[in-house]
Amino acid sequence: MADVRQLKIAAAKKALDYVNNGMRLGIGTGSTVEEFIRLLAARVVQGLEIIGIPTSERSMTLCHELAVPIATLDEMPEVDLTIDGADEIGPHLSLIKGGGGALLYEKIVAAASKKMLVIADESKVVETLGAFPLPIEVNIFGLEATGRAIKKVAAALDLSGKIKLRMKNNVSFVTDGGHFILDASFSHIPAPEILSRNLFTIPGIVEHGLFLRLASCAIIAGEDGNIRVIEAQDL
């Protein structure tokens, strides 16, 4: 039985098959993507020419350390392919993302990309989204009012559960964009499209971690050593 890191490496290695010379490559955030960055750096040393567009300070720092060429999205606003991880992968490649706190930048880059490829181990695949708390990035101003509005939206959809302000080292976690994150433990989200639309009616919400109709492909590494490729067009 492979350990979790080996599964992440296996998925990341397969993702390299989708990277072509000259690509403008969106680079996501998280532990699986970090394995991808390390493998990508080795290919760059061998002569692969790409420009990476990192979605977080964390990924940008690792790219710098490993000499992966990078640019900003403003410098390269059209992206060929984004490779990113996910906290959950549900039906039709619906995703929950944002466990690493970079959901806003991740979604901006994904939306600017021709394709989005998700890499993960099989533990991230679920029948219904929601067991992983949904990250909701919010403006610092009016935090209490925004939290109450989220609860009302959730209740209207028969969703319940604790909504907690994300903390790090005993202080409020602040995203790269300067916002807070509320983690909503709904347990299950049977209608993610409706929840997504309704959350966006709340002025204090900057972005949320439901990534819907963005992923075009997912690479899933299984404990049996098999790699499963799920194409959105095949669903």
Among candidate residues 34, 35, 106, 207, the one labeled active-site is 106
List of residues 6+ apart from 175 with CB closer than 8 A: 101, 102, 104, 137, 181
- What H or E segment, with its residue span, contains residue 181? strand 180-184
Taking each helix axis from N to C end, the angle separating 192-199 and 143-156, rounded to the nearest 10 degrees, works out to: 150
Helix (H, G, I), strand (E, B) or coil at 3: coil
Spatial contact of 130 and 188, defined as CB atoms under 8 Å apart: yes
- Residue 181 in tokens: 């994150």
Q: How far apart are CA 27 and CA 82, in angstroms?
A: 6
Q: Tell me if residue 106 is catalytic.
A: yes
**First vs last C-alpha separation in the chain:** 29
User: Cβ of 232: how many Cβ atoms within 10 Å?
Assistant: 15
Q: Which residues are catalytic?
A: 106
